[in-house]
Amino acid sequence: MNKLNCLIFISGGGSNLKNIIEKIDSGFLKDINIHKVITDNPSASGLKYAYEKKISTNIINEEYSYEDISMDISENNIDLIILAGFMKILPADFVNNHDGKIINLHPSLLPKHKGLDTHNRAIQSGDKTHGASVHFVTEKLDNGPVFIQGLFEIGESDTAATLEKKVHEMEYQILPIAIRWFGDKLIEKNGNNYNFRGTLEKEPIKYL
């Protein structure tokens, strides 16, 4: 069986990239290959996780544009594009050309708190719960179909900093599960929704 061939996009610390690499090494993601790590930020510290594993990397700039990424995708039979802490908005034509292949990790319980500063906004809104979501990417920011979420209760002593830490813990669980579903061909985008072919045990989870 061919491995699921992935591109991972990051912009900063890359702890989710690190977690995916660990899950590949531990066998939880045994049929996954990271073809390349791509960033918009040449000083993204998360690039070190790619260097350590000798995974090739590219920086998006005049010499490596979204057209070049698209060429990479078709020449290397890329199955899945994972935005794991990628802070730039993708061009609409890129998103539309790869419809159904791009997923994004977002640090809130979508549809709540699209965009930035989600942890502060959860506190300011008096939310009782917070968490993370994985969704298919569409032209509209943080708006595509959500297919897995992990949530927790916000405690009285929580601050934006503690929420960020708790959200990361959720992300380390849900993103590998999401990727595994692609590897097992359990999930696909269907318009503004998704089809899921898993068994009950593997059904999209809202409450981990």
Express the helix, strand and coil content of the chain in percent, nearest 5 each. Answer: 35, 25, 40
List the one residue from 10, 20, 29, 187 that touches ligand GRF (CB under 6 A).
10
| Minimum separation from the CB atom of position 14 to ligand GRF (A) | 5
User: Is residue 41 at the binding interface for ligand GRF, with CB under 6 A as the rule?
Assistant: no
Nearer to ligand GRF, 69 or 110 (CB): 110
List the one residue from 7, 16, 142, 154 that touches ligand GRF (CB under 6 A).
16
Annotated catalytic residue 106: yes
Cα–Cα distances (Å) from 191 to 100, 114, 143, 145, in that order, read 9, 20, 12, 9
DSSP per residue, 85-113: S--SPPPHHHHHHTTTTEEEEESS-TTSS
Nearer to ligand GRF, 4 or 84 (CB): 84
Give the nearest residue (CB) to ligand GRF.
85
| Minimum separation from the CB atom of position 84 to ligand GRF (A) | 5
Contacts with 201 (C-beta within 8 Å, 6 or more apart), sequence order: none
List the one residue from 49, 107, 122, 154 that touches ligand GRF (CB under 6 A).
107
Map tokens 């040449």 to a residue.
Answer: 42
Q: Which of 127, 120, 109, 111 is nearest to 164 (CA)?
A: 120
Q: Which of 98, 106, 119, 130 is catalytic?
A: 106
Give the interface with ligand GRF as residue ranges (CB under 6 A).
10, 12-16, 46, 84-85, 105-107, 167-168, 171
Active site residues: 106
